[in-house]
Amino acid sequence: MTTTHPITAPPGEDLLPWRDPEFIKAPWPWFARVREEYPFLKLEDGTIVITRYDDITEHLKSTSLVAVPPQGIGDSPWASNLNSVLLTEGERHSRIHKSFRKWLTPKATKGMADVAADSARAALDRMGPDGIIDAHRDLGVQPAQDAMAAALGIPREDGMPYILATNQTMDSLGWEPTEDEKTRAWEGFGFMMFNADRLIHAKRQNPGDGLLDAMIQIADDGGLTERELKESIQILWGSAAHNPGYCMASALADLAAYPEAWQEYRSNPDARTAIINEAFRRALPEVLVDRYTTEPYEIRGYTIPANTQIRFILGAAVRDEEVFRDPDGFDWTRPPAASMAIAFGAGTHSCCGQGVARVEMRAVLDVLAEGVRKIEVIGEPKWVFSDRHRNCEGLTVRLS
Q: What percent of the chain has pLDDT over 70?
A: 98
Average pLDDT score over residue span 185-195:
96
Cα–Cα–Cα angle for 134, 139, 140, rounded to 5 degrees: 105
CA 257 to chain centre: 22
Confidence (pLDDT) at 171: 85
In the structure, what pLDDT confidence band is assigned to residue 1 with cuts at 50, 70 and 90?
very low
In degrees to the nearest 10, what's the CA dihedral of 363, 367, 370, 372? Answer: -120
**pLDDT, tens digit, for every residue of 211-255?**
999 999 999 999 999 999 999 999 999 887 788 999 999 999 999
Confidence (pLDDT) at 3: 54
Q: Which one, of 164, 184, 181, 171, lies nearest residue 245 by Cα?
A: 164
Confidence (pLDDT) at 149: 96
Output the average pLDDT for the chain.
Answer: 93
The answer to whether residues 198 and 214 touch, using CB atoms and an 8 Å cutoff, is no
**pLDDT, tens digit, for every residue of 256-287?**
999 999 999 999 999 999 999 999 999 988 99
In the structure, what pLDDT confidence band is assigned to residue 153 with cuts at 50, 70 and 90?
very high
Among 68-72, 129-133, 163-167, 282-286, top mean pLDDT goes to 129-133
